[in-house]
Amino acid sequence: MKKKKHQIQQENNVILFPGVGERLLEQAHAYAESYQYNLACEAFAEALRYIEGDEVTLSVYAYSLYEIRAFKQAKEVCEELLAIGPTMYFEAMELYLTISMQLREFRQVEKLIETLLDEGAIPENQLEKFQRLKKLNAEIASKQVLQQEITEPAVDKLLIEDFLQLAQHEQLQTIYQLTGTNIRPIVQSLIKIIQHEEVHPFIQSLALILLVEQQVNASITMGKFHYQRVVNPADLALPTEMPQFQVIEAYIKKVLEKDPTTLEMVQQLLAKHAIVTYPFEWLDYDAEDVAQSYIDYVHMLFGKVQEMDYEIVGFLQQLETFSELL
């Protein structure tokens, strides 16, 4: 009886014995299961030189790369995984989106989520979360600043009666057109816009900021969120220089120092909402409670369920609704 011969492979003048790829793969999974992700990644990379990666292998390899913050490699492995049409497609796509956000590819994430929504690929219980993520990524990706010189038609629209007839996005553009121009000839028109109860809170704030930037000395009765106070633009700081904003921003920077993606998202929300509430800041809420609630709110968008101050988070959601003009 002839003895069975084992085939021995040779690669780059190195003798490879049968099963070496499988043994490396087994070791890689063991490393990953014990949270030794650096070692796992090394073993996966070596194993995949000799054998083709299956769905489970590529999934664990991509996650291990993500854990060691090798985001570019993790994305490439995820793309291989998605190309083979994994059975856990949605879970693989979630990891891919998370990695893309870490790479700051916010526009790509927005488009991908839009495609998933159009294709009905997102489970119903995840729809709201992904719609919010799509919106948030779109906002971060948008860096457009309206820098237009003031024109006669823009001045005409500042008559309060005409201004109120405009759609809100037209009102917003009209105010943006005044940035960087001498607004002193139209101060009284701007004051009427700021004080009018039918004007959107965000637009009220932008008009007030124009006066603050040019240190206009005037007495303005401002009402917003059932609060009312008399302010003088010459004495006001800009939204990001207000006391409570400074405390909140310092807190979130400290907590999220090692999580730059979440930090950027929180800062985007913070800056928008500071304009919405200006000059009242976050009303009567404690600064550190507000800061922690912003962190909890963004974590909630990522599907991280945890204890939070639902009253403040509800208020932040309301501010987000008011900031949708952007």
Which residue in this structure is represented by tokens 């948008």? 142
Which residue in this structure is represented by tokens 């929180």? 266
pLDDT digits (tens, 9 = 90+) for 126-135: 888 888 888 8
**β-pair partners for 224:** 227
pLDDT of residue 11: 45
pLDDT of residue 150: 41
pLDDT of residue 73: 93
pLDDT of residue 325: 64
**β-pair partners for 222:** 229
Nearest C-alpha neighbor of 81 from the set 95, 66, 71, 69: 95
pLDDT of residue 157: 56
pLDDT of residue 244: 93
pLDDT of residue 15: 40
Give SS3 for 14: strand
Q: Do residues 208 and 240 make contact, with C-beta atoms less than 8 angstroms apart?
A: no
User: Domains in the chain and their CATH numbers?
Assistant: 9-103 (1.25.40.10), 152-236 (no CATH), 241-325 (1.10.472)
Below-50 pLDDT ranges, the chain: 1-17, 143-154, 156
Q: Do residues 77 and 55 make contact, with C-beta atoms less than 8 angstroms apart?
A: no
Angle between helices 243-255 and 287-301 (to 10 degrees): 50
Residue 252 has which token pair?
A: 């979130």
Q: Do residues 125 and 158 make contact, with C-beta atoms less than 8 angstroms apart?
A: no
pLDDT of residue 59: 92
239: burial class by Cβ within 10 Å (0-12, 13-18, 19+)?
Answer: buried
Rounded CA separation 304/295 (Å): 11
Rounded CA separation 317/129 (Å): 13
pLDDT of residue 326: 54
DSSP string, 121-188: -S-GGGHHHHHHHHHHHHHHH----------HHHHHTTSHHHHHHS-HHHHHHHHHTTTTS--GGGHH
Nearest C-alpha neighbor of 161 from the set 199, 217, 202, 123: 199
